[in-house]
Amino acid sequence: MSRKFFPGCKVKARYPEASEWLAEQVIGRGYADEIVGCCRTDHQSLTADDTAVCICNNCMAMIDEDAENGDLENIWVLVDNDPGFPLPSYEGKTMGVQDCGRAYDRIEVQDAVRSLMRKMGIEVVELPDSREESRFCGQSFLRAAPEQDASFAPKRYVEDAAERGIFTPLDPDAMQARLDKHAAAIPTDEVCCYCFACDMGLEAGGKDAINMIELVSGKFRKE
């Protein structure tokens, strides 16, 4: 049995230093045996003896529906369950937590993110549309779903999407108005998220978005 970590192509591009650090932790702490490439090209090579470990909610969706893997795990759940993980301290910080609409039903991920924030000394502020109520994934839910994503994960990105009213294309002005409105409803200046698209959408709406990979690693894009 092999444990394979999918580090997320867009996650690596947006948070390169933090991603490199996390990959070292993944191997060093035994969360996975190997780091693999892009989920789009590599997920179908998974077998029933393999466990896929993911950081990206989109990777999880496509692997969940279109791969033969035995198990699927999220990196933040593994970190939260590791009592020896070297978490930094942000004692005294107060942050909202943005749930990703792609992970609306992944309760274990939502719980792990909040648990890790509290372990790092952060006071967690819930948003009006938290957990299963989230319809937010930055600009990505305000465009049509990419054809490849829909083909790999039709239940989540076609059937569920129709019921939940996501992937509704808007023109640029309407998109910006939607992002502004979402950000204005968040009562904190800083917002923790666990999705790069959520991060970008929150920033576009005027919030200081900080991704979980930045908080856990202590390596921030804006420094």
pLDDT digits (tens, 9 = 90+) for 151-166: 999 999 999 999 999 9
Cβ contacts of residue 85 below 8 Å, gap of 6+? 25, 29, 79
Q: Which amino acid is at 94?
A: T
| Rounded Cα–Cα distance for residues 115 and 113 (Å) | 5
pLDDT at 134 over 60: yes
Helix ranges, the chain (H): 9-14, 16-28, 39-42, 57-66, 75-80, 107-119, 147-152, 154, 160-164, 172-184, 196-204, 212-217
Domain limits, the chain:
2-137+171-217
pLDDT score for 39: 83
User: Which secondary structure element, helix H or strand E, spans residue 191, and what is its range?
Assistant: strand 190-193
Q: How do strand 71-74 and strand 50-54 relate by DSSP bridges? A: parallel
| Rounded Cα–Cα distance for residues 14 and 9 (Å) | 9
In this structure, what DSSP letter does residue 7 have?
-
pLDDT score for 223: 56
What integer is the mean pLDDT of 17-41?
93
Percent of the chain past pLDDT 90, that is, above it, reads 91
pTM (two decimals): 0.94
- Greater confidence, 43 or 6? 6
Of the pLDDT bands very low, low, confident and very high (cuts 50, 70, 90), residue 25 is very high
What integer is the mean pLDDT of 188-199?
97
